[in-house]
């Protein structure tokens, strides 16, 4: 083999975990390659993985467009802006979304060139070798054989199917089909009231679909702080999402142009519902198919994830794994942090990921964002805590925006005042949560936030006020 195909680091997968790991490895001076098989409709590579192609980016593009549509239909009138003849141009909305995807794909190509990462378009398969020299075959648009001293597996995840209801992406949709529906369904079913179900349900409800959400668990958004989840449930119901909790899904019949779902409701009653389209969003499974794990003796752990230690080392020396294919939250920024940390560990540095300060965001309207512990977790762990909340209804900027639903909630240690969790439901919660993440990373107290000068009028004043509320000292509520 020519030396051109010998690398210090080969990354399999070009999603947020993989492409960021490749860039960081190259920055650290390693000769680096990244292999990714994602291909767009024109047969070209489409770097960025699930996140860029069928996840974070297109969903946020459609959430934004559909929110504009809804505001033009209702909220603008309150501002004194009358919109006549409002019409949905769905092909344009989808075209814009595709353009946003493409510009992100192209951005990564540019970053690879800038950082001298070699890109191979195709499927990467481990094909044996030993420590210091692993072989990876590339097949697909590109056929090649590479060797690597270090391999980073970042092959991501796929949507989980319901038994007996395979995705056809026409009637029964995964996230991929949910992002490309070409006419607004009159009746949209969603199985799973998790992050995808609520985000995609919101998009299509805003565009005119009657959305029914069927959730297996009796509690709404069980991982979210109960007070915030209760508020969210109330607001989403008011918006028109028809949410049924505690259901048991039975037979699903896909007739090609509609689908019938039989289920048992929370009271034990037999129900049948017919939908034009059905989004199944019941979680995702790690993607290790055809990766050649056995050729190097790479072990899987629980539920098919690649088994890794806290530092993303697999059982095979020199082979690492990051992102959705390993344990932990399936989030793009978690994958990226792991990618950076692994590249730095390969370089002998002390790469670090703080799993306690990974923020979560659900991009509904209002947005829901949190970091750290929920109140129910603190109770279960027997931790003595103080809580402070502040409603956006008492925030001047929120009133000016016309977006007053929701609150900021602080949870702090009763003895030391260290911030243990921050939970936000409200406008741009996704941005507001960063202050809390920084504070927790620096192990700040709620008093620290309460004493920091926040610009007026700004939504972030609600964060300061919630911190003040921990010691019952809110000034504006
Ligand atoms: P992926 O992004 O899945 O990338 C893996 C890549 O590896 C893919 O390109 C795949 O084609 C490639 N690959 C797999 N096997 C091989 C192989 N053998 N050879 C070559 N290439 C291979 N997270 C957030 O943080 N914020 C959000 O707003 C958000 N929104 C989401 C919305 C939706 C609808 C979905 C589905 C997910 C969303 N996520 C979000 C989750 C986020 O997309 C994932 O956590 C993230 O993409 C994981 O990154 P990854 O690099 O581990 O894997
Ligand atoms: P999820 O784990 O968020 O939610 C799945 C829901 O389906 C749960 O409420 C679960 O109880 C329910 N469920 C499971 N099996 C069921 C069944 N048989 N019948 C009825 N309900 C059932 O998974 P989702 O929404 O598929 O998203 C996958 C992952 O993608 C998320 O966990 C998240 O990590 C990531 N994601 C992140 C986003 C963000 O950060 N904003 C946006 C979208 C996805």
Residues assigned a catalytic role: 456
**Probe residue for ligand 1, chosen from 51, 153, 325 as the CB with the greatest number of ligand atoms within 8 Å:** 51
- Residue with the smallest CA separation from ligand 1 atom 53 is 156
Q: What average pLDDT does the chain have?
A: 97
∠314-315-320 over CA atoms, to 5°?
20
Who's near 160: CB < 8 A, 6+ residues apart?
Answer: 280, 282, 283, 284, 285
Kindly state the tokens that stand for 230: 């209760």
Residue in 145, 142, 18, 41 with CA at minimum distance from that of residue 98: 41
Kindly state the tokens that stand for 459: 């939504």
Which tens digits make up the pLDDT trace of 117-145? 999 999 999 999 999 999 999 998 889 99
Q: 63 with 363: CB under 8 angstroms?
A: yes
Q: pLDDT: is 473 or 140 the higher one?
A: 473
Average pLDDT over residues 72-87: 92
Segments making up each domain of the chain, as ranges: 4-158+285-353, 172-282, 357-470
| CATH superfamily for domain 357-470 | FAD/NAD-linked reductase, C-terminal dimerisation domain (3.30.390.30)
Domains 172-282 and 357-470 equal at CATH topology level: no
Which tens digits make up the pLDDT trace of 400-421? 999 999 999 999 999 999 999 9
Region for 178 from its dihedrals, namely left if φ exceeds 0, alpha if ψ lies in -120 to 50, beta otherwise = alpha
Looking at residue 44, what is its pLDDT?
94
The reply to whether ipTM tops 0.85 is: yes
Looking at residue 127, what is its pLDDT?
97
Q: Tell me which fold the domain 172-282 belongs to.
A: FAD/NAD(P)-binding domain (3.50.50)
Distance between CA 195 and CA 202 in Å, rounded?
Answer: 11
- In the predicted model, is pLDDT for residue 14 greater than 90? yes
Is 3.50.50.60 the CATH classification of the domain at 4-158+285-353? yes
- Give the ligand 1 atom nearest the CA of 339: 51
Judged by DSSP in three states, 417 sits in coil
Rg (CA), the chain: 24
- Residue with the smallest CA separation from ligand 2 atom 8 is 194
User: What is the pTM assigned to this prediction?
Assistant: 0.97
Kindly state the tokens that stand for 432: 């507001």
Which tens digits make up the pLDDT trace of 238-296? 999 999 999 999 999 999 999 999 999 999 999 999 999 999 999 999 999 999 999 99
């Amino acid at each position: 083999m020519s030396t051109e195909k010998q690398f210090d680091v080969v990354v399999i997968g070009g999603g947020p975990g993989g492409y960021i790991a490749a860039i960081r490895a190259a920055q650290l001076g390693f000769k680096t390659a990244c292999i990714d098989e994602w291909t767009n409709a024109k047969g070209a590579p489409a770097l960025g993985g699930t996140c860029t192609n069928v996840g974070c980016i297109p969903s946020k593009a459609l959430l934004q467009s559909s929110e504009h549509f809804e505001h033009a239909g209702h909220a603008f009138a309150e501002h004194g802006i009358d919109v006549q003849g409002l019409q949905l141009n769905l092909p344009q909305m989808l075209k814009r979304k595709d353009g946003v995807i493409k510009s992100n794909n192209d951005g990564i190509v540019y970053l690879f060139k800038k950082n001298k990462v070699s890109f191979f378009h195709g499927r990467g398969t481990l094909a044996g070798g030993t420590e210091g020299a692993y072989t990876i075959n590339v097949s697909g648009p590109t056929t090649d054989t590479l060797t690597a001293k270090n391999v980073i597996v970042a092959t991501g995840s796929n949507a989980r199917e319901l038994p007996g209801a395979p995705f056809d992406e026409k009637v029964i949709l995964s996230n991929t089909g949910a992002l490309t529906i070409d006419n607004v369904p009159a009746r949209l079913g969603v199985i799973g009231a998790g992050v995808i179900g609520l985000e995609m349900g919101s998009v299509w409800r805003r565009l005119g679909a009657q959305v029914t959400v069927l959730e297996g668990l009796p509690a709404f958004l069980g991982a979210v702080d109960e007070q915030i989840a209760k508020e969210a449930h109330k607001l989403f119901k008011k918006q028109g999402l028809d949410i049924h909790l505690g259901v048991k899904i039975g037979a699903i019949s896909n007739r090609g142009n509609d689908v019938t779902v039989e289920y048992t409701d929370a009271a034990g009653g037999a129900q049948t519902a017919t939908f034009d389209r059905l989004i199944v969003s019941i979680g995702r499974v790690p993607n290790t198919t055809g990766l050649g794990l056995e050729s190097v003796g790479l072990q899987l752990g629980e539920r098919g994830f690649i088994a890794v230690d806290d530092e993303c080392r697999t059982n095979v020396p020199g082979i690492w794994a990051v992102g959705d294919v390993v344990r932990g939250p399936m989030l793009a920024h978690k994958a990226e942090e792991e990618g950076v940390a692994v590249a730095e560990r390969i370089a002998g540095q002390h790469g670090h990921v703080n799993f306690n300060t990974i923020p979560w965001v659900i991009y509904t309207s209002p947005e829901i964002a949190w970091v750290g512990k929920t109140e129910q977790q603190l109770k279960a762990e027997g931790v003595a805590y103080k809580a402070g909340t502040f409603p956006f209804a008492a925030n001047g900027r929120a009133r000016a925006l016309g977006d007053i639903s929701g609150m900021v909630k602080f949870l702090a240690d009763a003895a030391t005042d260290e911030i243990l969790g921050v939970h936000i439901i409200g406008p741009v919660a996704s941005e507001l949560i960063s202050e809390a993440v920084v504070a927790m990373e620096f192990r700040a107290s709620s008093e620290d936030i309460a004493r920091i000068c926040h610009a007026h009028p700004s939504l972030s004043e609600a964060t300061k006020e919630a911190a003040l509320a921990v010691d019952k000292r809110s000034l504006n509520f």
